[in-house]
Amino acid sequence: MSIRVYMDHGAGRPVDPRVLDAMKPYFTERFGNPASFHSEGFKALEALKEARSSVAELINADPSEIVFTSGATESNNLALLGGALRNRKKGSKVVRSAVEHISVINICKELSRMGFEVAECPVDEAGVLDLMELEKHVDDDTVLVTVMAANGEIGTLQPIREAAELAHSHGALFHTDATAAAGQVPLDVKKLGVDLMTLSSNDVYGPKGVGALYVKKGVRVKPHMIGGGQENGIRSGTENVPGIVGMGEAARLAKQEMEAESKRLTALRDRLIEGVLAAIPESYLNGHPTERLPNNANIRFSYIEGEALMLSLDDLGIQLSTGSACAAKTLEPSHTLLACGLKHEEAHGSLVFTLGKNNNRNQVEYVIQELPGVVERLRAMSPLTPEELR
């Protein structure tokens, strides 16, 4: 079968060929160490500098405020562990939203083992942070507040500026995980007023294994990688120059192309949602109808389970994700869907479509055409009745 409709860009993206071209020389030709005081070292240093500027520009930061890491998970570790520990004297409380990425949730668990009080702020049924609740949770003992810019699973955009303002009114730092949002919606650290922002390279079509943390000038985080003092002493270790060059080029392209691409994706997303909901009875959109990432559609289907849906679609050349427990290592359904108030049995039947550069209208139509049959086949096998879902 030659059909390949990859709609799982939230999980992994192809590297843009232009990014790969930019990276190539740094493997074999310009392989110098940026710390070396000779011409090969200078070339590498120059490349780092350029990449740092491109990443900074994507979020309107100063290049000196960008710390390169090994990816979003490390950036989250540096921001949350590093931010809370470095500022421990200020207080002992950390506040996060209920729909954070698993890495943020697990880092917060680690913080509570270290003696911090961790508060979880609820979201509404569309997954939007409840600012009134946030106000109740954030107090003068709060060191750090973390709220993702957009949720990668249900696509919901969060009121970051308001949340940051609230954190600052109590003297707390504000971190946002912008992994899913970057490259899709404009991010301006100055306008948003954030102190720390997590970015991932692969999520803007750069290579995997690279990320960055924006650390606002004057904000201190405790380094977790001790060594030769690279990245302003915040993240030691010889820089992954080819990877960083890739992330830089990816960020540069994202900045240039985001507006047009997001418009294109929004149209595809809306057609996908409208088409699927119209074609399949008892299917529902998860997340916010409009305040969502341009590339995200999360739809749930009653009476059936997401992993079985995923397997059936994979057979038709369609790849995506599910919020079902059956596809998770933990055997728990998506915490994000549960936080939105869905029941377990509803969360199990959810599919996550995350669109990207290589998706087009024909592919969306193919999904709309194939999905009803798949759903029908599984529903015919299911013993569930409307009463059981009530």
Residues marked as catalytic: 326
Other C-beta atoms within 10 Å of 17: how many?
A: 9
The sign of the CA dihedral 335, 214, 242, 32 is negative
**Shortest Cβ 310–other proteins spacing (Å):** 8
What's CA 265's distance to the chain center, in Å? 17
Query: Binding to other proteins by residue 301, rule CB under 8 A?
Result: no
Q: Candidates 16-24, 151-159, 164-172, 323-331 — which segment interacts with other proteins by CB under 8 A? A: 323-331
List, in sequence order, every beta strand (DSSP E) within 216-313: 283-286, 296-301
Q: Which of 190, 191, 344, 361 binds other proteins (CB under 8 A)?
A: 344
**Shortest Cβ 201–other proteins spacing (Å):** 27
Structure-block tokens of residue 102 = 């698993």
Query: Binding to other proteins by residue 382, rule CB under 8 A?
Result: yes
Distance, first Cα to last Cα, the chain:
40
Amino acid code (one letter) for 201? S
Query: Binding to other proteins by residue 384, rule CB under 8 A?
Result: yes
Closest to other proteins by CB, 201 vs 312, is: 312
Query: Binding to other proteins by residue 106, rule CB under 8 A?
Result: no
Q: Which of 156, 305, 335, 367 binds other proteins (CB under 8 A)?
A: 305
Q: Which of 13, 333, 340, 342 binds other proteins (CB under 8 A)?
A: 333
Q: Which of 73, 77, 283, 324 binds other proteins (CB under 8 A)?
A: 324
> Pick from 191, 199, 188, 375: which is nearest to 280 by CA?
375
> Pick from 219, 146, 214, 151: which is nearest to 179 by CA?
151
What is the C-alpha to C-alpha distance for residues 168 and 176, in angstroms, rounded to an integer? 14
Q: Candidates 84-92, 158-166, 281-289, 297-305 — which segment interacts with other proteins by CB under 8 A? A: 297-305
Q: Which H or E element spans position 369?
A: helix 361-381
Query: Binding to other proteins by residue 381, rule CB under 8 A?
Result: yes
Structure-block tokens of residue 314 = 């994979």
Chain positions contacting other proteins, by CB under 8 A: 303-305, 307-308, 311-312, 315, 324-327, 329, 331, 333, 343-345, 348, 380-384, 388-389
